[in-house]
Amino acid sequence: MSTQIPKNLKYTKEHEWILIEGDTATVGITDFAQSALGDIVFCETPEVGTELAQGKTFGVVESIKSVSDLYSPVSGTVIEKNSDVEGSPEKINSNAYESWLIKVKVKNPGEISQLMTAEAYDQFCQTSA
């Protein structure tokens, strides 16, 4: 199974991706995750202002096969949510890396170093497939 793994992103073992721009993190689920889930029919993310903790759940994505929790790659405050994806969750299947879920103001930039690089995530996916 070949999936896209953009090099400019960081990744979690729970298959979330994160793009860091200054103190803002954009978060979504990876191509590997959407492929494993199948047709995504529902997505729920927290409201703006919600405090997140690294490694804790922040929402749910549901497919016709299963329900999966979403885990925050970093601690911080939700500053934006992608209501477009909540309204049309199938967009995640079309393009997982453009269909971001939330934007977070990062509280502790040191947490970013705990995330996987594209190369490490690729290895992780190959060993867990």
The pLDDT tens digits for 3-23 are: 689 999 999 999 999 999 999
Q: Which two tokens stand for residue 78?
A: 């939700």
Please tell me the distance from the alpha carbon of residue 99 to that of residue 118, in angstroms, as a whole number.
18
pLDDT of residue 40: 97
- Residue with the bigger pLDDT between 127 and 74: it is 74
Can you give the pLDDT at residue 1? 42
Does residue 69 sit in helix, strand or coil?
Answer: strand
Q: State residue 61's pLDDT score.
A: 96
Domain ranges across the chain: 10-124
What is the mean predicted confidence (pLDDT) over 93-103? 96
Res 110 pLDDT > 50 = yes
Which pLDDT value is given to residue 128?
A: 76
For residue range 35-92, list pLDDT tens digits in order: 999 999 999 999 999 999 999 999 999 999 899 999 999 999 999 999 999 999 999 9
How distant, in Å, are the alpha carbons of 7, 33, 50 from that of 36? 21, 5, 28
Would you identify the CATH topology of the domain 10-124?
OB fold (Dihydrolipoamide Acetyltransferase, E2P) (2.40.50)
